[in-house]
Amino acid sequence: MSKQVKSYSKDEFLTLVKEKSGLTKADSARALNAIFDSLEDILSKGNKVSFVGYGSFSVGHRAAREGHNPQTGQKIKIKASNVVKFSPGKVLKEAVNKKK
């Protein structure tokens, strides 16, 4: 039997940040938006962001390739693109694998 996974909305996540930080929800939202904006600025320039123990965000390149439309089976060309990669750090890996 598999465990049901909960998906958190941004609003629910902000509530958790508010509770853990002691900030107001509005201050938590400003801080989170500033973090997202900063990540976007750094990654869009091809740079990397590392949070020791938590993980690293970087940009990878996906080459152009041929795929197919699953509904029709018709071959399609998929353009090259950049993708965001996340590599978890040791502390995060241990937290996710901790037995409760």
In this predicted model, what pLDDT tens digit does every residue of 63-93 receive, in sequence order?
A: 999 999 999 999 999 999 999 999 999 999 9
The answer to whether residue 61 is domain-embedded is yes
Per-residue model confidence (pLDDT) at position 99: 72
Model confidence pTM above 0.85? no
Q: How many residues does the chain have?
A: 100
The answer to whether residue 46 is domain-embedded is yes
Residue 2 has pLDDT above 70, yes or no: no
Instruction: Please give the tally of structural domains in the chain.
Output: 1
The answer to whether residue 57 is domain-embedded is yes
In sequence order, the β-bridge partners of residue 58 are: 85
The answer to whether residue 1 is domain-embedded is no
Half-sphere exposure of 29 (CA within 13 A, CB side): 8
Displacement of CA 6 from its chain's centroid (Å): 16
Instruction: Decide: helix, strand or coil at residue 30.
Output: helix
Rounded CA gap, 53 and 34, in Å?
21
User: In the structure encoding, which two tokens stand for residue 45, read together?
Assistant: 């320039």
CATH of the domain at 46: 4.10.520.10
* Percentage with pLDDT > 90 across the chain: 91
The answer to whether residue 79 is domain-embedded is yes
Query: 3 or 57: whose pLDDT is higher?
Result: 57
User: In the structure encoding, which two tokens stand for residue 67, read together?
Assistant: 């795929």
The answer to whether residue 2 is domain-embedded is no
Could you tell me which of 43, 37, 48 has the C-alpha nearest to residue 82?
43
Q: Which domain holds residue 90?
A: 10-96
Across the range 2-22, mean pLDDT stands at 92
The answer to whether residue 50 is domain-embedded is yes
